[in-house]
Structure 1
Amino acid sequence: VTVDRLLVPKKRNTVNGVTVHGATPLFNACCSGSAACVNVLLEFGAKAQLEVHLASPIHEAVKRGNRECMEILLANNVNIDQEVPHLGTPLYAACTYQRLDCVKKLLELGANVNHGQWLDTPLHAAAKQNSVEIIHLLIDYGANLKCKNAQGQSALDLAAPKSSVEQALLLREGPPALSQLCRLCVRKCLGRNCHKTIHKLYLPDPLEKFLLYQ
C-alpha cells in the first residue's frame, strides 16, 4: 500500500501527528531514507520546519547520510542553519557523523561554515572525528581556524597529537591565497544564494567554476 493511498482517506489529518518521542511521519521517512515518502508527506501538508522541541527531520536525514531527503527539505524552505540543542546545525551534525556528501551539499547551498553547536564549530566536530577530507573542505569554504569553543579550545587543540588531522590543520594555519580570499569575499557579498546568483553574472566559465568550487 502506497503512502499517498493511506493519506487520501484520512484527509491529511495525521500527516503532522507526533509520537510520544516527538517524532513525526516526516522524521521517520528521513530516518529510513525514503525520498519518495518525504515528497508525498510534503505534498499532503507535512511541516518541513518543526519546532525546536520536536525531532528534526533534516538533522535525522543528515545523521544517516540521506542526502536526497536533506535536499528535498531544503528545497521546501527548511532553515539550513537550524540549530537544535543536542545536534547543533545540520552542517555540524554532518561533520560529527562524517557524512561527506551532506557536508559538501550543505556548503554548496550556503550553510554557515562557522555555525555549529553553541560555540563549537563544524571544524571542531571534524577535528574530533579525525575527518581530514572534511577539514580541508570546511577551510576551503572559509572556516575560521581560530574559533574557540566553550572550553577555550580551537580545532587544532582537539586534534590528536601527530595525527593526520593535526597535520592538516597546521598546513592550513597560514594566510589563505589571494585568490581564495577573493572567492570568499565575492561569495559573501552575493549571500547565501550565491550558488544561484553566480550563474546570472555571465562570468568567464573558468571564473564561474572557481567561485562554485567546481
Structure 2
Amino acid sequence: MNDERRMVEAAMSGDTQTVRLYLDKGVDINYAIWNRNSALQAACRRSRLDTVKFLLSCGADVNNVTGERWSNQPTALILAAEEGQLEIVKLLLSHGADVNFTDRWRYSALLSAAAKGHVACQEILIENGANVDQTGVDDASALHCVTGEELTMKDADPYRISPQDSLRLCRSLLRAGANPNTGDGSGRGTPVHVAARGDHVDLTRLLLEAGADMNAVDSQGKKPVDVAPKESATRDLLLSPSPLTLCQLCRLVVRKSLGKERLHTIDRLKIPTAHKTFLQFD
C-alpha cells in the first residue's frame, strides 16, 4: 500500500493526525486512489468534519474530481449532501464549492440531498443558488424525488422520506420556483404522476395548487389520474379536482410576475406577514 492510499484511508477513518503526517511527507493532497476518492472526498463520504476542516485549511481542492478519465465523479459537496451532513455542506460552500456541479448521473448536490430526504441540506443548497430543476439521467428532478417512493439513481431504499418531510421538501422546492410540470412526456412523467402513483393526496393537492398540469402525460400517454391506484383518495381528487381559489390564482400570478430569480425578495415586500407566508407555500 502506497502513502497516497494510506492518507486517503486515514481521512476516511477521521485520523487527521495521520493525514497531517503524510502531507508533511509531501503526498499530494488531491491525489485519488483506485476508488476515485481524494482525501477530502473520502472524509466527506464518511462524515469526518474535523478532517474536512483540516484538509480545506491545507488547500484541498473543494471541487476536485481527479482527472479526465474520472471526470464527473461526485464532488465533496455532492457526497456530503448525500449523507445529509449539514455542517460539512456549509463548510464546503464557504470554501467555494460549485453548488451546481453534476456527476456522471447528472445529479447535483441538491438532487442528491433531495433523493435521500435531507431537508436541511436541501434548504441551504437552495439558499446558495442550487438549480431546483436539475434532472438526472433517470429523468428525476428534486420534486420527483420528494413526492413518491420510486427508486432513483442515488437511492437503494425508496421508503426513506416520511410524509411530513416530503411535504417540507416539496414546499421548499416550490418556494424556490421549482417547475411542477418538469418531466412532461418522459417515462417517469411529472411530479404529479409520481405523487399519484404513490397515492400521496396531500402532495398531489400541493402540486396542483402550485400550477401542476393534471392533464400532463408520461411517455405512454397516461395522465396522473390514470396511474393513481383505483379507489384511492388521490384518484378521487384528480377525478373531481376543486378549482383554484382566487387567492391561489393570485399567488401564481404574483410569483410568475416576480420570476424565479426574484422569488427570494418576497420577504421584502411591504405586505402583511400572512400574505408573504401564503405566497411562499408555507
| Fold similarity call, TM over 0.5 | yes
Q: Structure 1 unaligned segments of length 5 or more: list them.
A: none
Q: Does 1:23 align with 2:113?
A: no
Q: Does 1:197 align with 2:265?
A: yes
Q: Structure 2 unaligned segments of length 5 or more: list them.
A: 1-15, 17-49, 150-160
Partner of 2:237: 168
Counterpart amino acid of 2:120?
Answer: E
Equivalent residue runs for 1:67-146 within 5 Å: 67-97=119-149, 99-116=166-183, 119=186, 120-146=189-215
Secondary structure of the residue aligned to 1:151 is: coil
Cα distance 1:72–1:208, how it changes in 2: closer, same or farther (>3 A)? closer
Partner of 1:7: 56
Equivalent residue runs for 1:36-51 within 5 Å: 36-51=87-102
Partner of 2:42: none
Q: Sequence identity, in percent?
A: 32
Cα distance 1:17–1:207, how it changes in 2: closer, same or farther (>3 A)? closer
Give a deviation string over 1:181-210, Cα, whole Å, max 9, x none. Answer: 222122211112554333444234554443
Does the aligned pair in 1 maintain the 2:185–2:216 contact within 8 Å?
no
1:118 is displaced (CA, Å) by 5.5
* Distance in 2 (alpha carbons) for counterparts of 1:165 and 1:125: 11
1:100 is displaced (CA, Å) by 2.5
Q: Does 1:56 align with 2:108?
A: yes
The number of aligned residues is: 212
Q: Kindly report the root-mean-square deviation, in angstroms, between the aligned alpha carbons of the 2 structures.
A: 2.5
Cα distance 1:158–1:50, how it changes in 2: closer, same or farther (>3 A)? same
1:4 is displaced (CA, Å) by 0.8
* TM-score, structure 1 normalization: 0.86
* Distance in 2 (alpha carbons) for counterparts of 1:193 and 1:44: 24
Does the aligned pair in 1 maintain the 2:185–2:221 contact within 8 Å?
no
Give a deviation string over 1:124-176, Cα, whole Å, max 9, x none. Answer: 1111122111111111111111111111111001011111211122232x532
* Distance in 2 (alpha carbons) for counterparts of 1:195 and 1:20: 34
Does the aligned pair in 1 maintain the 2:72–2:104 contact within 8 Å?
no
Does the aligned pair in 2 maintain the 1:81–1:89 contact within 8 Å?
yes
Does the aligned pair in 1 maintain the 2:65–2:71 contact within 8 Å?
no
Cα distance 1:157–1:209, how it changes in 2: closer, same or farther (>3 A)? same
Bigger CA radius of gyration: 2
Partner of 2:226: 157
Q: 77-86 or 91-100, which moves further after superposition?
A: 91-100
Cα distance 1:115–1:7, how it changes in 2: closer, same or farther (>3 A)? same
Give a deviation string over 1:32-51, Cα, whole Å, max 9, x none. Answer: 11111111222233222114
Does the aligned pair in 1 maintain the 2:174–2:281 contact within 8 Å?
no
* Distance in 1 (alpha carbons) for counterparts of 2:199 and 2:90: 35
Secondary structure of the residue aligned to 2:239 is: helix
* Distance in 2 (alpha carbons) for counterparts of 1:20 and 1:213: 38
Counterpart amino acid of 1:107?
Answer: L
* Distance in 1 (alpha carbons) for counterparts of 2:145 and 2:184: 9
Structure with higher RCO (Cα < 8 A, 6+ apart): 1
Counterpart amino acid of 2:249?
Answer: L
Does the aligned pair in 1 maintain the 2:185–2:217 contact within 8 Å?
no
Cα distance 1:35–1:87, how it changes in 2: closer, same or farther (>3 A)? farther
* Distance in 1 (alpha carbons) for counterparts of 2:92 and 2:232: 45
